[in-house]
Amino acid sequence: MKENDGKGFWRFFGPGLLFAGAAVGTSHFVQSTRAGAVFGIGLLSVVILANFFKYPAFRFGSHYAAATGKSLVDGYKNQGRTALLFLFLVLLFADGFAIAAVSLVTAGIVKTVFGIGLGILTLTAGVMLVAALILILGHYVWLDRLNKIFVGLITFCTLLATAMALPHVDWSFYPATAPKVDAKTMMFVVALAGWMPSALEASVMTSLWTVAKMAEGHAAPGKRHIGQVLTDFDIGYMGTAILAICFVLLGAGVLHAGGIAPADTAPGFAAQIIKLYDSTLGAWAAPVLGGAAISVMFTTVLAVVDGVTRVLVSAGLALQDKPYEPAGLDRTRGYRLVMVGMLIAAMLLLTQFLSSFRAFIDLVTSIAFLTAPLLACFNHRAVFGGDIPKDMQPSKLMKVWSFTGIAVLVLFAGVYLCVVWG
């Protein structure tokens, strides 16, 4: 049987969904819905363009792994210790916020769906503890299989709910009821684009997952498998982009049209998310989609915690010039210690920033926006440098697309800094 048949594809199917699991969380449930609720479809173009211009940088993680059999950690190391150290610092100082954000949103949905009376910090700690136990005990594969059902359910119902909300959407390019374009609006645009569809370091996580998947399927790196690996990634990426658009339209058609302001607490905003389905699909949808939302968000927690830990451990070893095996990282003592340390750091961050849910989420996503240009540059250099033979490098179109995306990210980062510090 040929390698390019259906069976060959399924050997590589998975990392794209793991990327989707990490992406379809705070950026979609929170930021996209807030964009629609406050600005109508005024910021829909931001969501579309962010997905478009970031696509090459994200895709290069899977491409590098398929072509070399190594992760982007090696690609960064081959560019010098500065690139690798930058990646390590981004993960160390920025992604504690990311873990805190996705855990907080998940806890908010759990509190809303089940009506639990515990405090949000206690519930968030519980979410983190369960995630840590699952990853340490190695039961993630089972949960991932179950989550595919819930991802399919929430995708179907989100598409259906969006279709039913469309008649209520104000299709003005920038509705008169939206806030005026000023520095505050610019700050939210940056926060929205920062995690759309995810923080750019997720490309490094995807490369690690891809290498592990290839090792699991006993597939050697090389030209024959690149197309299959990239197809898997594209399915996950396109799915996250479509869902982001849907959540903007839902926010515009339900919250914005009803004059409902986004809540400033995790449980309050979670209740509004569930209400989106209740008001469009009927009362039956709230408990069903509530369960699906918990599953999807919990998978986001698992994917982010696992991905951040994998990159930190592998980057830390690479900085010490020590070898590492991507397929076995989750079974090492270092993986467990780093994961526990990051979860503790995330909880400490929440105790300091919990007073304003929106401000906290905007801070997390803005950090991702500012680090994106450099990470995109490093990803570009990794695939177009000497690590990958010319005949296995991305196309000329993808090269131009990547250059354009980097230029746009640099431009907007510069504008943002001028607005903030100008």
Which DSSP string corresponds to 120-146? HHHHHHHHHHHHHHHHHHT-HHHHHHH
Q: Please name each of the domains of the chain with its CATH number.
A: 6-421 (1.20.1740.10)
Collapsing DSSP to helix, strand or coil, 197 comes out as: coil
Single-letter amino acid code for the residue at 395? S
Mean pLDDT by runs of 10 across the 422 residues of the chain is 46 70 77 92 95 96 93 94 92 85 89 88 94 79 64 81 90 90 84 86 90 71 81 89 92 89 80 82 79 82 88 92 75 86 91 76 81 95 93 95 96 83 68
CA 364, 134, 336: angle at the middle one, nearest 5? Answer: 70
**pTM for this entry:** 0.88
Cα 119 to Cα 134: distance, rounded to the nearest angstrom: 23
Rounded to a whole number of angstroms, the CA Rg of the chain reads: 20
Which bin fits 298, alpha (ψ -120 to 50), beta or left (φ > 0)? alpha
H helix intervals, 173-284: 183-194, 202-216, 223-250, 266-281
pLDDT reported for residue 144:
59
C-alpha closest to that of 367 among 191, 201, 203, 197: 191
pLDDT reported for residue 58:
96
Contact 256, 37 (CB under 8 A): yes
The total number of residues shown for the chain amounts to 422
ω before 167 within 30° of 0 (cis)? no
Which residue's entry shows tokens 């504008």?
415
pLDDT reported for residue 220:
65
Contact 342, 103 (CB under 8 A): no
